[in-house]
């Protein structure tokens, strides 16, 4: 089912004390009944879960292993994440693909593991600037969707991340983002049925409303702005 979801991706930021201060400032500012998710570093998951209990805020992780357990140094299992309070998990973020060797095949493996343990996955897809300028956006996205969602059913949230608009200060126009998400939806719904698709390209307090007004955009996967309580609350509270 399509629903409004605003997810913050803290990336490798926020100590436990910083997380505590963020939650204390952020919660009183929330005036929306949309799904709010804080995807935090592994070390913050349990603390943020405790701090947000009883509120509308849910907790997510930023990665999950493709195995139940075993010799996978540095990974963390879906069962471990569930145990400490995670409800959501980001899979296939462009930074995982660029820096840590994530592929469409490993995205698919992680996705199946998340669903096996009842985590709600936010699966990221997106193209580079070179790919867009070469006219390959739809080709790239179609391949990511086909391979990443192969053999999958269930409640899967997608996030469109134009890689050229992450951390660069550039943002796709609302119309461009909406058009691309329309294509993603047409491809993904053959596998998933109706699903929520978020925009993840440098959405911030200034441009969030114009993006969220677009008919195909169901919410946002927020990076830098999710580290600032007032800015993140502005995005969450968009109508």
DSSP 8-class letter at 120 = E
Residue 85 CA neighbour count, 13 Å, CB half: 21
Phi, psi of 41 (to 5 degrees): -60, 155
161 catalytic? Reply is: yes
Q: Which long-range contacts (C-beta less than 8 Å, at least 24 apart) are formed by 116-120?
A: 116/78, 117/78, 117/79, 117/81, 117/82, 118/82, 119/64, 119/78, 119/81, 119/82, 119/86, 119/87, 119/88, 119/89, 120/60, 120/87, 120/88, 120/89, 120/155, 120/157
Tokens of 209: 């409303």
Between CA 167 and CA 5 the distance in angstroms is 21
SS3 187: helix
Name the nearest CA neighbour of 138 among 123, 125, 153, 147: 125
Question: Which one from 93, 95, 102, 127 is the annotated catalytic residue?
Answer: 93
Q: Are 93 and 9 in contact (CB under 8 A)?
A: yes
DSSP β-bridge partners for residue 90: 122
93 is catalytic: yes
Residue from 35, 102, 127, 161 carrying the catalytic annotation: 161
- Catalytic residue numbers read 93, 161
């Amino acid at each position: 089912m399509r629903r409004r979801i605003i997810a913050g991706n803290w990336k490798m930021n926020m100590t436990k004390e910083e997380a505590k201060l963020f939650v204390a400032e952020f919660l009183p500012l929330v005036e929306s009944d949309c799904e709010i998710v804080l995807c935090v570093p592994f070390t913050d998951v349990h603390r943020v879960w405790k701090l947000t209990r009883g509120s509308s805020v849910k907790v997510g992780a930023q990665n999950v292993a493709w195995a139940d357990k075993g010799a996978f140094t540095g990974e963390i299992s879906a069962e471990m994440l569930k145990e400490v309070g995670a409800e959501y998990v980001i899979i296939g973020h462009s930074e995982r693909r660029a820096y840590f060797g994530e592929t469409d095949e490993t995205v698919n493996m992680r996705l199946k593991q998340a669903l096996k343990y009842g985590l709600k996955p936010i699966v990221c897809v997106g193209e580079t600037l070179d790919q867009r300028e070469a006219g390959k956006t739809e080709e790239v996205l179609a391949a990511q969707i086909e391979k990443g969602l192969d053999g999958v059913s269930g409640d899967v949230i997608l996030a469109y991340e134009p890689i050229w608009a992450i951390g660069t200060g550039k943002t796709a126009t609302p119309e461009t983002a909406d058009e691309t998400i329309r294509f993603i939806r047409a491809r993904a719904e053959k596998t998933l049925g109706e699903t929520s698709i978020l925009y993840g390209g440098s959405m911030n307090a200034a441009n969030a409303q114009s993006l969220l007004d677009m008919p195909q955009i169901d919410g946002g996967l927020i990076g830098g702005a999710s580290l600032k309580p007032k800015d993140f609350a502005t995005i969450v509270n968009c109508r």
